[in-house]
Structure 1
């Protein structure tokens, strides 16, 4: 499923406001270029992500990620491609809280709500809760997913080169690159 231009614009405005609330200043151009990833699932506020990429070279990448309250970036991993290790990324919470789930011993009562329509596609449940000023590094090729806490979250991501279009999602229905259509 695609997103309409007005859905994208609303998400960009909301994400821009949350980034400002975190004390991060964006240029007007950056605000207009916030990527809205709906993953082709048709439920952006349940499974989606808003992000701004500041730089992405063949050596490193820096982004800010925005999660609305309860919004989930679905489970995925960054695989090795052509002998090049997948992305290693460090998440640093700037505002709000983020519930991060990675491989490891499952947490008994996780705080996140797994999206019911995609429940079978969520397989890792080792919970890491990040509050402002806390960070966690995810190794390459590690299954992970994350969700905004009750107020949402702004998370800075520092990583090796990002090749989002090559991420492998556990949900076969996901389309990583957004399709935006004009409003009728």
Structure 2
């Protein structure tokens, strides 16, 4: 778990990204930036900063920030009791996003998993997103993503988000 001072520092960095690219954030949203360290206590390697705008029974919209080379760990949004898992579209707004999904492994991926966690990264079909590009991830699809050297801002448009139901490849993760 991150300390309060570390939370505040990272939240300020996230706000700088929003400001830099002209995404208006209300004071209420600024006060509820989520900093996810996934219970691994290595936020700069494995983590994610986000604001959820809306999450209803049908739709969800978020703005996500990845710091330089920060990774959101491998996971999927499973179907549960006849309720389809989350379908999400990522649209890159700033930086470069290296997204990895199920499919044919490329020979030389641009990214490496965080040091010490390599065994928990199993999908290697690489999709590279730069500003204005987007990709849709369907339910029950393993995926993970990492920012390039500048960090990244990603808009997520999806069906209902139930983060507590996500299944991570790494059993050490707490969400």
TM norm structure 1: 0.94
Residue 78 of structure 2 is matched in structure 1 by 79
Moved over 3 A (4+): none
Residue 132 of structure 2 is matched in structure 1 by 133
TM-superposition CA deviations, 1:91-142 (whole Å, max 9, x none): 0000111000000101111111211211000000100000000000000010
Residue 5 of structure 1 is matched in structure 2 by 4
Once the two structures are TM-superposed, the CA of residue 174 in structure 1 deviates from its matched residue by 0.2
Preserved CA contact (<8 Å) 1:90 1:135: yes
Once the two structures are TM-superposed, the CA of residue 48 in structure 1 deviates from its matched residue by 0.3
Residue 101 of structure 1 is matched in structure 2 by 100
TM-superposition CA deviations, 1:61-103 (whole Å, max 9, x none): 0000100000000000000122101000000000111000000
CA separation in 2, counterparts of 1:7 and 1:174? 19
Residue 182 of structure 1 is matched in structure 2 by none
CA separation in 1, counterparts of 2:37 and 2:169? 15
Residue 26 of structure 1 is matched in structure 2 by 25
**Secondary structure at the residue paired with 1:9?**
helix
CA separation in 1, counterparts of 2:45 and 2:81? 33
Cα RMSD after superposing both structures: 0.7
Preserved CA contact (<8 Å) 1:12 1:32: no
CA separation in 2, counterparts of 1:170 and 1:135? 24
CA separation in 1, counterparts of 2:99 and 2:22? 22
Residue 146 of structure 1 is matched in structure 2 by 145
Residue 48 of structure 1 is matched in structure 2 by 47
CA separation in 1, counterparts of 2:111 and 2:21? 22
Give structure 2 stretches of 5+ with no counterpart.
none
TM norm structure 2: 0.98
